[in-house]
Amino acid sequence: MLKHRGFPGRLPGSDYQFTIRRANPRGVTPITRRERYRDRKGVDRRADLYFMAALWEHFGTEPFERGNLDAGRLSWLFGREVLPYDDPFDPESYDALLVIDEAAARASFPEAFDGELWA
């Protein structure tokens, strides 16, 4: 499992994790599309925003390996802002390649692209 060095481990000031420390010995948690409803808590929406900003800062438009990125957090963006790069895509592989759909990400999270979130 690739560890993305320099990638933030969690949302600052919260328990929302962005990365995992080690591979799950009982099997890989699959990435699935989760529906984002309008009534989600503000901290949930902020976690999505910061995670998207971190993805953009580290990978931009280049394909990236899932590696140690948290499957739960990826699932909130999967199928909209983050898309499978491989065909066929294996949602249960740490080696699966993903890519950011820049147009969709900018429409959903415009603040993630101005570079001011982490300052």
Query: pTM score, two decimals?
Result: 0.91
Distance CA 46, CA 79 (A): 19
Instruction: Kindly give, in sequence order, each residue whose CB lies less than 8 Å from that of residue 1, ignoring residues fewer than 6 positions away.
Output: 22, 23, 67, 68, 94
Assigned token pair, 36: 């984002």
Q: Under a CB-based contact definition with an 8 Å cutoff, are residues 4 and 68 in contact?
A: yes
Domain ranges of the chain: 42-113
Per-residue pLDDT, 117: 66
Judged by DSSP in three states, 62 sits in: coil
Distance CA 99, CA 56 (A): 10
Per-residue pLDDT, 118: 58
Give the tens place of pLDDT for each residue, 20-34. 988 888 889 999 999
Q: Which of 39-43, 76-80, 101-105 shows the lowest per-residue confidence on average (mean pLDDT)? A: 39-43
- pLDDT surpasses 80 at 84: yes
